[in-house]
Amino acid sequence: MSESETPVPTSPEPEETAAADAADMAAPADDVAAVEPAEAAETPSAPAPEPAADDASPEASAKEAAEPAAAEAPAADAPETEAPAAAAPAPAPSPRPRPGRPGPTPGGAPSPAALAGRKPAAPLLPAAPSVTEYDAALLAEAKTFGSVTEDGTVTVQDGTQVRTLGEAGQAQGVDPDTALDPFARAYLDLVAFLDLTEKKLSTTGHTHNELNRLLENLRKNMKEPQVVGDVPALRARAHELREKAKAQIAELESARTAARQEAIARRTAFVESIEQLVATPPEQISWKSAGETMRQMVPTWKQMQSEDVNIDRPTEDALWKRLSAARSTFDRHRKQFFSQLDERHEEAAAVKEQLIARAEEMQDSTDWGPTVRAFKDLMAEWRAAPRGGRKKDDAQWARFKAAQDTFFAARNADLEASESEQRENLVVKEALLAEAEQIDPTKDLDKAKDALRSVQERWEAAGKVPRGDMRRIDDRLRSVERAVKDAEEAEWRRTDPRTKARVEGASSQLHSAIAGYEEDLEKARATGDPARIAKAEAALEARREWLAVIERSARDLG
């Protein structure tokens, strides 16, 4: 499989992620629907008749939702006391006719053309049970921030400036309170929108895109909102919510970065494990296991792509190139190794063929001792020979062992045939030992020597005995032989003329010395000196003992 055939994960680049996030920001939130400022500020152009109240029903509110996701949001996200999704239009004076716009019909009611040309107001909140009434105190408080000029223009105190509410803020011929009413309701709608946004941000488990949608909705709805109320307070609260959403986005980004780093570390470790396997010396590799590992390399990489966190494209491309290079190196090493292995196997087979030929030449030999030693040497050469292929090695070993078994089977059969004979020889030799152990060389040495010689001749003629008994009976015969030899050496020393002459000479010298020491003793006694007397007596006694030993030796010599 080439590198181009293996899919490389399409991890989004930072620029791609930003583009996707921007697209998600433009889409409606799952729980908060965006409302264009112009749509929020648009008010009825004339007092609506009673039947128009149907537009404020739950069904009408759901139809007026600008995005499908808003209609799918659970109703539980908005409490029953929150502001309605779309405020019911209150009676208001009809604006002055403008070029290109249909004017009011007689009687103060808007014309059908005017009603048909009006855009339905998109709800600020997800679809929820409609609230048909607003808190009068909150409405009154909100109206304190607005005013109506003499020409019917509605303005709002937006911080330090007074801001006109655009074309929708033209209300001539009605009292200021009635003119401000829809804008105050729109303000309470924004408050409800911020309440729901805060509630949404207080929960966990938001995705990056959801938080971006919340930020986009905050941006749209708080950009010069066409409402009457404490707009700076709304902006301050919206700012806090934006910061909270940004903090959550930062946490998600941090977690995403950490997850990507961990994914990079895991994939790098996997790549390094493959590279380490490839760097192993070929003679130390288990090629079967290593081959399976390399076969699973691409499926493992694809599994990491599909199950792990996406990483950036340059890093993943670099890791894949390392994997591809390692795989190519592994394939090259494997081809080289097995090519050399085939050559070594051929050499090993040639060496072992020679050993087999020599073994087959000796298999019929009956010269047991030398052939056994030759087979032992041949076996040592076989062990030292290089190893070949398993099948070839097994076949050659079977032939070599067959020749070896043929020889040793014949040898064992011969040994078994001679075993009974050896046991009979053992009986004969044990009888000879009993005879030899009766010889007493101290009584008659010559007779003892003749008897031992007779035993030795019959011993050799008796033949071999079982190997386990050989040493035992040989040691017993050696004991008899040593006793006769010791008696022979003692007799020789006793009858040696030179020894006798040396004994007689020593005896004569000691007799002369003893006579001299006796004279010294007499002289010492004449002086009466105890020390001199004791010394002379000791010297004389020592010479007499020496003489006794020599005379005893002379008697032994005859």
pLDDT in the model for residue 362: 86
Q: How many angstroms separate the Cα of 437 from the Cα of each of 473, 476, 477?
A: 12, 8, 8
CA dist., res. 375 & res. 386, Å (int)? 19
Closest CA to 322 of 288, 277, 292: 277
Q: Work out the pLDDT band at 21, boundaries 50, 70, 90.
A: very low
Are 510 and 547 in contact by the 8 Å Cβ rule? The answer is yes
Residues 110-125: pLDDT tens digits? 444 443 444 444 444 4
Question: Count H helices, E strands: the chain?
Answer: 18, 3
Q: Work out the pLDDT band at 495, boundaries 50, 70, 90.
A: low
Higher-confidence residue of 33 and 323: namely 323
Are 476 and 429 in contact by the 8 Å Cβ rule? The answer is no
Query: Residue 544: how many CB atoms within 10 A of its CB?
Result: 14
Locate all alpha helices (DSSP H) within 437-466, ordered by sequence.
Answer: 445-462
CA dist., res. 300 & res. 306, Å (int)? 10
Query: Residue 532: how many CB atoms within 10 A of its CB?
Result: 16
For β-strands 161-164 and 154-158, DSSP reports them as antiparallel
Q: What percent of the chain has pLDDT over 70?
A: 71
- Please tell me the least confidently modeled range out of 35-44, 342-351, 489-498, 537-546: 35-44
pLDDT of residue 82 exceeding 50? no
pLDDT of residue 314 exceeding 90? yes
Q: Work out the pLDDT band at 154, boundaries 50, 70, 90.
A: confident
pTM equals: 0.40
pLDDT in the model for residue 166: 62
CA dist., res. 114 & res. 120, Å (int)? 12
Average the pLDDT over 154-180 and give the result.
76
- Please tell me the least confidently modeled range out of 56-60, 266-270, 296-300, 339-343: 56-60
CA dist., res. 254 & res. 249, Å (int)? 8
pLDDT in the model for residue 172: 60
Are 88 and 133 in contact by the 8 Å Cβ rule? The answer is no
Taken as a whole, the chain contains a residue count of: 558
Average the pLDDT over 37-49 and give the result.
34
pLDDT in the model for residue 119: 42
**Two structure tokens written together for 180:** 């401000």
Q: Work out the pLDDT band at 65, boundaries 50, 70, 90.
A: very low
What does R_g of the chain's alpha carbons equal in angstroms? 63
Residue 370's identity, in one-letter code, is: P
pLDDT of residue 389 exceeding 60? yes
Strand partners, 154: 148
Closest CA to 349 of 389, 399, 401: 389
From the number of C-beta atoms within 10 Å of its C-beta (0-12, 13-18, 19+), residue 209 rates as middle
Element housing 108 (H / E): none
pLDDT of residue 53 exceeding 50? no
Average the pLDDT over 371-397 and give the result.
87
Q: Dihedral angle at the C-alpha atoms of 300, 304, 306, 307, nearest 10 degrees?
A: 120
